[in-house]
Amino acid sequence: MHTVLTLPNATLRQVSHPIESFDAEVILMFQNLATAMEAGPGGVGIAAPQVGILKRAVVVDCNFSMRPCKHHGRLFMANPQILEHDGEVLGREGCLSVPEWVGTVPRAKHVTVQFQNEKGELNTINTSGFEARVIQHEIDHLDGVLFIDRVVSTQDLIRRM
């Protein structure tokens, strides 16, 4: 199992590379990401850079979220990109890679996301609410951006107990 990297690890600030071939190694990577996500407290999403893999891959699963929301189940997302977004909503975020802090972050209310699944098949989903927030958070990781870079104010960062 992979260990989740935490700040100040420099890998978290690097831009990830696209996944170009879809094989057994990619399927195993997604399974390992899901296992690492499940091992974390309240994990609903994880990006490959968080375990030291600089590939454009995220797992999102809001099935067991404490925040009830409509969702698309467990998503293995390779090369995800937001095609459309609208609205803005503030919400509290935390991160497995920044475990000691939470903060208020503005995100798009609704997003349309295109991605390839673990087999390379192209998918497009429309989502909103908490699932949209999680997807945006995880895509940020692929570009070396953390939620603490987007907080409304550094005074808004709250140390977890």
The residues annotated as belonging to the active site are 138
Identify residue 57 by its one-letter amino acid code: A
Q: Which two tokens stand for residue 21?
A: 């071939």
Distance, CA of 48 to CA of 37 (rounded, Å): 10
**Residues 55, 17: contact at Cβ < 8 Å?**
yes
Distance, CA of 56 to CA of 61 (rounded, Å): 17
- The position carrying tokens 């798009």 is 108
Distance, CA of 88 to CA of 17 (rounded, Å): 28
Look at strands 89-95 and 122-128 and give their pairing.
unpaired
Distance, CA of 40 to CA of 59 (rounded, Å): 13
